[in-house]
Structure 1
Amino acid sequence: MSTRHLINLDFAASTPLRPEAIAAQARYDQADYAGANPHALHSLGRAAARKLERSKRELATCFGARVQARELIFTSGGTEANSLAIFGLARAIRERNAVRNHVVISALEHDSVLHCVPLLKELGFEVSMLSAGRDGRVSADMLTRLANQRLALVACMYANNETGIVQPIAELARIAHESGALMFCDAIQGWLHHPFDVFELGVDALSVAGHKIGGPVASGALYLKAKTPLKPLLARGSQEAGLRSGTQDVRTITAFCAAACSVHHSLSQDYSRLLKISDWLYDELMLIPGIDATVPNIAHMDRVPGIVSVTVEQALSEDLILQLDEAGFAVSAGSACTATSSETSHVLRAMQVPKHLSEGVLRISFDDRVSMQDLQVFVRTLQDIVSR
């Protein structure tokens, strides 16, 4: 087995556990209630339940001052939160009004959202895709044209996981609500990386995942605005206000919330610093002949810092990734959920990126734990590889 040191520049796929999350897990393991079911009547169960509710109250502060703990549903991760929102909201609003059977989904969405489309159609919903421009943003004008009394749900991510481009969520939510529809936002890539207040976005539901912010894998949550209708995916149980059945994993949830609170505490400072580093990295990479930003005029785009996407002319992403791996750097071309596919990313196709450019896309992603020295070495390494 290789013991060589590899520098992780693929944080948009998943992140290492933060010290706060590790410490929270260790404290849980030492607690008397460790392993107790939070729905048991005995004192250990009640102690676990109190810890669970305290974690939820702390997590609510990471969504905005006006978000209440009762508006959060713990899930096993982002994929479950996305499915719960899409199927739960669409079915609930159609149940109230059978005419509303039209769902609009952004063409830029993560596969965990796009893979809901076939089943939505099987359930009798009409589905339209919201197109995107070369700038990586979806078209609000197109949603205006699609919005009518049949519209049930609009789904659009807060920030794209391949380009980092932030979408016009507040505008889309306004258009959806004007037609009587609900608005769902997959914020898994943007939450606690790009400052926003959920209440001000105006969405009805919003998903997040722990492993994108230094929390454990298999942790996530769905924000569901008070009084928003939702049909559960699982056979109804008492957990999570009857909306998500199954015994909660208090240990994982505790670590998830600890990581979130840690990141939220320093978000303003880290955002500004990481944006400057991202700008520097774009500038340095685009000095290399044949390399350009995947999104034109990237410096003027609202985006998540720590995601840098570039195209390398006359190169294949797979070849570049393997050469960089051999040189000690872990990067990707885009979503880890499609990393083994040789097809061009659906995000790049939706953005109409020319094929000769999309074949050589690299995504470099990081957070506050990656050093400038590592990034400087990465730039020199990529320059050497490209110039061969």
Structure 2
Amino acid sequence: MATDPRDVPVNLDYAASTPLRPEAVAAQAAYDASPIAGANPNSLHTLGRRAATALEGARRSVARSLGARVRPGEVVFTGGGTEANHLALMGLAEGARDRDRGRTRVIVSAIEHDSILDNLPSLRARGFTVDTVRPRRCGSVDPAELEALLADDVALVSIMLANNETGAVQPVRELAARAHARGALFHTDAIQGYLHIPFDVDDLGVDALSLAGHKVGGPVACGALYLRSRTPLRPQVLGGGQEAGRRAGTQDVRAAVALAAVADALAPGVEEDRERLAALSDRLYGRLCSHPAIEATVGDWAAVDRLPGIVSVTVGGHETEELVLQLDAAGFEVSGGSACSSGSLDASHVLLAMGIPRDRALGSLRISFDDRVDPADLDRFADALTGLAG
């Protein structure tokens, strides 16, 4: 029995996860129908070698999407963005300390995703001290604030490319340059920004960068870590030597070829898509913030460098849970921030770190979409939210 389109809610929570793109669906179907389906790419027989060829082709595609000079061997496939962040944070910190025993400090920003912040106790248990740099009110980290924390004992700095709640884009190029000037490694969590804003890892100057397939229309539980050649890394998963010894475990070729298909499809048009989505985001911000109870979390949204498909607001006099449920009943799916923390009734750590009062932060909403959004749906959503705001 066919589903009535009127019964399908409008998904405006793409920053949490995105529907599979046709390219990913087709790539997975082709893999499933091929003789290599289920074959181990580390086996020496014919099917294993063919699976390895498919895996290396996927690695080349992901490498191309990260920059013209990125080598396929600098791409490490992982089981998702969380694993990529864990490998980067723990592996680079320990790798830097292995190279220089005096490097015992790690710096992160206060607005990182939980997949970074929740690993900090483990870092401390391994003998590292951790310092946190707070953002400006607009949501971005001031390079001068990082500079004040840097010293010759810093092993690693990890600051995200773009925030997953507010969309604020960070000045990663300058942050990485300042870290490198003091001999520290630099990692950026680009999970929210990958294939949404144009960048080249060589231009950013980072040593490592995390990405995840399900944020761009690829499969869930599929990610990758860009690791610049000769960057010291202590592996965190042992037991097989796959991924050149950097991440053990039989690779998921099916997921890798689907991610590669999305990368091949989206990478050439990132700038064009950004311009279109920026215009739609600006229009939605303008409509929502014309209501006296609704404010942009980043302040003057028109002046902030931000991801084009994330609109982040607070609604005075309302709580996030109430708004999410009311909007769901009206046919719109949004969130209060990171979906990984959606069960929490407390205010977002990101918004609190930006200096937004707790009572205001408790009424936050994140509206997110990509190039597949229907502009008419955004207009209908604006009508619904401004009506609920009173």
The structure 2 residue matched to 1:262, chosen from 260, 265, 286, is 265
Tell me how far 1:236 sits from its aligned partner.
4.9
Task: Tell me the residue number matched to 1:36.
Answer: 39
> What CA distance in whole angstroms lies between the structure 2 residues aligned with 1:96 and 1:289?
55
Q: Is residue 2:217 matched to residue 1:214?
A: yes
The structure 2 residue matched to 1:118, chosen from 118, 121, 137, is 121
**After the TM superposition, which residues 1-388 of structure 1 pair with which residues of structure 2 at under 5 Å, given as runs?**
4-387=7-390
Tell me how far 1:114 sits from its aligned partner.
0.1
Contact 1:56 1:72 (C-alpha < 8 Å) held by counterparts: yes
Greater shift in the superposed pair: 144-153 or 179-188: 144-153
Equivalent position SS for 1:207: strand
> What CA distance in whole angstroms lies between the structure 2 residues aligned with 1:95 and 1:39?
29
> What CA distance in whole angstroms lies between the structure 2 residues aligned with 1:330 and 1:15?
12
Greater shift in the superposed pair: 302-311 or 139-148: 139-148
Contact 1:210 1:260 (C-alpha < 8 Å) held by counterparts: no
The residue type equivalent to 2:259 in the other structure is F
Tell me how far 1:264 sits from its aligned partner.
1.1
Alignment deviations for residues 204-263 of structure 1 (CA, whole Å, 9 cap, x no partner): 000000000000000000000011111000125321111000000111111111112212
Tell me how far 1:106 sits from its aligned partner.
0.6
The residue type equivalent to 1:189 in the other structure is Q
> What CA distance in whole angstroms lies between the structure 2 residues aligned with 1:169 and 1:31?
41
> What CA distance in whole angstroms lies between the structure 1 residues aligned with 2:62 and 2:278?
25
Alignment deviations for residues 301-352 of structure 1 (CA, whole Å, 9 cap, x no partner): 1111010001111111110100000000000110001101001111011101
Tell me how far 1:363 sits from its aligned partner.
0.5
Alignment deviations for residues 171-226 of structure 1 (CA, whole Å, 9 cap, x no partner): 11111111111000000001111111111000000000000000000000000001
> What CA distance in whole angstroms lies between the structure 2 residues aligned with 1:268 and 1:176?
28
5+ residue gaps, structure 1 = none
Tell me how far 1:288 sits from its aligned partner.
2.1
> What CA distance in whole angstroms lies between the structure 2 residues aligned with 1:148 and 1:237?
37
The residue type equivalent to 1:331 in the other structure is V
The residue type equivalent to 1:212 in the other structure is K
Using structure 2 for the length normalisation, give the TM-score: 0.97
Work out the number of aligned pairs and report it.
386
> What CA distance in whole angstroms lies between the structure 2 residues aligned with 1:150 and 1:287?
48
The residue type equivalent to 1:217 in the other structure is V
> What CA distance in whole angstroms lies between the structure 2 residues aligned with 1:359 and 1:115?
21
Alignment deviations for residues 260-285 of structure 1 (CA, whole Å, 9 cap, x no partner): 22121221211110000000010011
5+ residue gaps, structure 2 = none
Contact 1:89 1:229 (C-alpha < 8 Å) held by counterparts: yes
> What CA distance in whole angstroms lies between the structure 1 residues aligned with 2:269 and 2:135?
32
The residue type equivalent to 1:352 in the other structure is G
> What CA distance in whole angstroms lies between the structure 1 residues aligned with 2:350 and 2:149?
21
Alignment deviations for residues 81-121 of structure 1 (CA, whole Å, 9 cap, x no partner): 00101111111111111111010011000000001110100
The residue type equivalent to 1:290 in the other structure is A
> What CA distance in whole angstroms lies between the structure 2 residues aligned with 1:355 and 1:142?
23
Contact 2:187 2:209 (C-alpha < 8 Å) held by counterparts: yes
Contact 2:180 2:186 (C-alpha < 8 Å) held by counterparts: yes
> What CA distance in whole angstroms lies between the structure 2 residues aligned with 1:356 and 1:146?
30
> What CA distance in whole angstroms lies between the structure 2 residues aligned with 1:154 and 1:289?
39
Cα RMSD between the aligned structures?
1.1
The residue type equivalent to 2:310 in the other structure is I
Greater shift in the superposed pair: 2-11 or 178-187: 2-11
> What CA distance in whole angstroms lies between the structure 1 residues aligned with 2:44 and 2:101?
42
Tell me how far 1:356 sits from its aligned partner.
2.8
> What CA distance in whole angstroms lies between the structure 2 residues aligned with 1:356 and 1:169?
31
The residue type equivalent to 1:233 in the other structure is Q
The residue type equivalent to 1:181 in the other structure is A
